[in-house]
Amino acid sequence: MPAAEPLLEREAGLATVAAEATRACSGSGRLVLLKGATGTGRSALLEAAARHAAAQGMQVLRVRCSTEPLAPLTAVCQLLSDRPELAYPVLDTADAGDADPAAHRERAARLWRALLTWTEEAPLFMAIDDVHLADSTSRGWLVEAARLVERLPVLLVATERSQYDVGPPVPGLDRALSSGVVRTHTLAPLRASASARLVRAAVGTEVPDAWVDDMVRAGAGSPLFLRALLDDLRGQDPSAAGIPESCAALYSGAFPAAVSWWLECAGAESAEVARALAVVNGPDGGHEDGDGGLLAAMTDSDPSRVRGWLTAMTHLGLLRPDSKGRPRYAHPLLRDAVLSGWSGDLRGASHARAAEAMLRHGASTEAVAGQLLSAPAPVGAWAADVLLDAAARAVGEGRTADAVVLLRRALSEALPPARQATVLTQLGSLEFAAFPAAGIPRLTEATRLSHEPRDRARSAIALGTALAGRGEVRAALTALASAEEGLAAEPGLAAAVRSASMLVSDRDQALRREMYGRLRAEAGRAPESADPVGRALATQYESTAGLLSAETALARVRDLLREPVDPLAESVLVAAAAFVALWADELDEAERLVRRGLAEQRASLLHPAHSTLLNIRAEIFAARGDYPGLLAELDSRRAAGAGAPGRPGHTEVLAIVALAETGCPEEAAALADRCDPRDASDSWERPVLHFARGRLRAACDAPVGALEDFLECGRRQSARDVVSPIVTPWRTAAAECLLTLGRTDEAVALAQEEMGFAEVWNTPRRLGRCLRVLGTATGGRYGLELTDRAVRLLRDTPAETDLIQALIAQGRQLTAAGERTRARDPLREAADRAGRIGAVRLRALAENALRECGARHRATPPGGQAALTDSERRIAELAAAGRTNAEIGELLHLARRTVETHLTSAYRKLGIRRRTELPRALDQLLVDTGMEVGLRAVR
């Protein structure tokens, strides 16, 4: 490295010494003191000044002072013995150890005479490096010499460390001298431009500017740090790699060694504060501590000295304030180097002190918990409280992985068995989604440790849910039954466990019939003693068994929702009521119940009702024909890692139909291949999967395969006592396939059978579907009458896709009857409605039918309020009213990603690009369409 590099921005200091050297050569000596922080190049400047003095003909004597324990006047003796060929008295070892004051004075005088001997030959340049490390007697001698060289050809040049430290400052060499006998020059840190020149001089001028800027930040204005880092990075290609953030990536370690030396020079107190700052200034931003109070508490230091140190280090360039004004190391590598000299034990202890100090200073729970994660356990009872609070917040914000880490750390604290059981239940519940092998043992242990009745119920429900999720339904029911027996004295909790058992049994056909048979038998023997949740589940069962009308079922569950139930069982009651509302086409009511049920769920506890409620929410999207919303829901659940490992999720099954209907048959087929019915065993998922796969095959013009799937769906549903079409209308779906295959009589028989069950349930949607299929199968004038009735019924339902299919059937029958002009209106309406909800397949069917009747579809503009689905409309209105995506998600109980997907779709349909354009766009549509969207009410 060229000799000029260390002297960047040091010209003024060199000029000062040169001027004083000229003055000394003329017989008027002085002391020049070069001050500066560690690493600012004091020694390099002193050496350059010495070379300049030698070039002027001055004799140069050098000494570098040391921290080693030395005898009195050692530094001066070393300085004046630089030329042993000149004879002058030298102290022997015995003299050096003599503590007699008179002897010291004699030695000091002999050393002064030795200095005079030097001046007889030529002017003398005495270079004393790191004079602050010299023994006190040598410093005293130099101070006296500075007063006496004013009439001698002697220049004393000393370097002295002048850096603000946390410890008490040491008096400087110039403290006892007047300005007439001493000149002081202070070295400032290198400016960024000078540091950049130094870097480019070492590595070349073609390196990227970003790489150089990174080097300058890591060097912090210190020539020492910059040169050490350049040595470590020598041979690396700056264009291929950036500056590392860890010292482990450096070889040979010159940079961390330089930082360690800087800390050593600063003293133990400053080093401790520096490392404490590195501990609290983690990658997450650390704690608000601009005044140094936290650091002072961590290190038992004087707060005023810590504040001064932070200010001084910021001035030097080692620290930089972040956007919140907090002092941070100028580069992550610098922070890592400060910590690299610390052992793991010391670092862990500092994290523990940081956590305790941050808690006292009012830091956020997350910040304190972040320190505890790096502290050795146990820390104390308060630490468990902090970790659990932080875990609860992480769960609430959807950061499951963070919550798992926090709960695992909480288990390392000394917890009483009851609290340990609670943590194990939460941790096992969260781990199950990603680590089922770890989750189930934790839940088993939690069940063993739980003594309080409510804790036993929670842990048993979580364990049963996990076991069922693994396909171990019988084991799950056994665990739940055991817990229910142990809770005989707590009827509310026992009922909660029993209700969870009912939901779990849905995953096994035989066990479901057994459990519901027992439930109905008990209710029949003593109906007044049955709990509200049991009666709601019985109502749900009877609805699917074709024994109740929608009106009766709705009345029952609405009454049951008013009755008090244990909080652990309330979500099951709400889920049962939501199912009934969904099947009765009361979709808004079902949606409200889902939101209520999910709000009552603790996300950190496994419960079978949680997945049930999410499945109902997906069913609501499907019932409305809101295919974009359904697919966004699937993306959201996948991003959250929802669903049992290795099993097809209900939302995925529904997405098969959504993809097929929105013109993505290949994606639908790929998803169907991943959702193998055999993976669902005998659970409720298998017939639903067969139904969805049948819908896909029918959409792909494969009626034979579709028929097989629909009939298999029917066999499996019937085996589960699910005969009503409210769950899977497989009979009418199979009838449509039979019509395609020309097997009309069989089609009519199946449609009539479904009509019988639909008449029992008695809702427009179920009746309208059956009437449509029967009308298509019957044909002629009577068939047209049936189809007309279907259209009239379906206009009163929120099920858009069923109405579209009925309109297409009506148009085709009118065409077949020779009434082509009349056929065009229902077919155009069908095409328009299909276009608005993105039902590509149905739109194509309607347009084909229009062409068959000799008409073309007059397409409506793709944008507009009418094109928005219900979900898009609600979210757009809330966004227009100023709600954030997070607020909308919380209000509607939707994932943030789902909200973003709906908004993106709404922007596209409305022809806008920004959120700020929403109010104007929606207001304009109120004028254009005359539709009352409730926007003004929202505002």
pLDDT, position 283: 66
Q: Other C-beta atoms within 10 Å of 321: how many?
A: 12
At residue 2, what is the residue type? P
Cα separation, 663 vs 699, whole angstroms: 10
pLDDT, position 886: 80
State both tokens at 827. 């077919």
Secondary structure letter of residue 67 according to DSSP? S
Say yes or no to pLDDT of 127 above 70.
yes
The string over 325-347, giving b where at least 16 C-beta atoms fall within 10 Å of a residue's C-beta and e elsewhere, is: ebbbbbbbbbbbbbbbbbeeeeb
pLDDT, position 860: 46
Say yes or no to pLDDT of 862 above 60.
no
Say yes or no to pLDDT of 704 above 60.
yes
At residue 890, what is the residue type? E
Average pLDDT over the chain, rounded to an integer: 86
Question: Residue range 529-536: average pLDDT?
Answer: 84
Residue-by-residue DSSP string for 333-353: HHHHHHHHTS-HHHHHHHHHH
For residue 124, the SS3 value is strand
Say yes or no to pLDDT of 92 above 60.
no
pLDDT, position 513: 82
Q: Which residue has the tokens 């005293």?
A: 140
Say yes or no to pLDDT of 596 above 70.
yes
Say yes or no to pLDDT of 252 above 80.
yes
pLDDT in tens, 166-217: 998 888 888 878 888 999 999 999 999 999 999 998 888 888 888 999 999 9
pLDDT, position 647: 56
Question: Residue range 281-300: average pLDDT?
Answer: 75
Q: Which residues contact 106 (CB under 8 A, 6 or more apart)?
A: none
Residue-by-residue DSSP string for 555-584: HHHHHHTTS---HHHHHHHHHHHHHHHHHT
**What is the H or E stretch that residue 642 is in?**
none
Say yes or no to pLDDT of 70 above 90.
no
pLDDT, position 288: 52
- Please state which of the ranges 628-632, 639-643, 783-787, 932-936 shows the lowest mean pLDDT: 932-936
pLDDT in tens, 419-454: 999 999 999 999 987 777 788 999 999 999 998 999
- Please state which of the ranges 20-24, 450-454, 875-879 shows the lowest mean pLDDT: 875-879
Angle at 514 between CA 512 and CA 516, to 5 degrees: 65
Say yes or no to pLDDT of 411 above 60.
yes
pLDDT in tens, 733-778: 999 999 999 999 999 999 999 999 999 999 999 999 999 999 999 9
Percent of the chain with pLDDT over 70: 89
Handedness of CA 414, 418, 419, 425 (dihedral sign): positive
pLDDT in tens, 455-478: 999 999 999 999 988 888 999 999
pLDDT, position 171: 86
Cβ contact 825:611 at 8 Å: no
pLDDT, position 107: 84
Question: Residue range 791-802: average pLDDT?
Answer: 88
pLDDT, position 570: 93
Q: Other C-beta atoms within 10 Å of 184: how many?
A: 17
Question: Residue range 613-623: average pLDDT?
Answer: 92
- Please state which of the ranges 21-25, 332-336, 611-615 shows the lowest mean pLDDT: 611-615
Cα separation, 60 vs 74, whole angstroms: 18
Cα separation, 842 vs 835, whole angstroms: 9
Position with higher pLDDT, 814 vs 85: 814
Question: Residue range 567-571: average pLDDT?
Answer: 91
Cα separation, 916 vs 719, whole angstroms: 55
pLDDT, position 290: 63
State both tokens at 461. 């429900």
pLDDT, position 678: 62
Give the CA distances from residue 239 to residues 330, 351, 930, in Å, rounded to whole numbers and listed in that order: 22, 37, 61
Cis before 532 (ω within 30): no
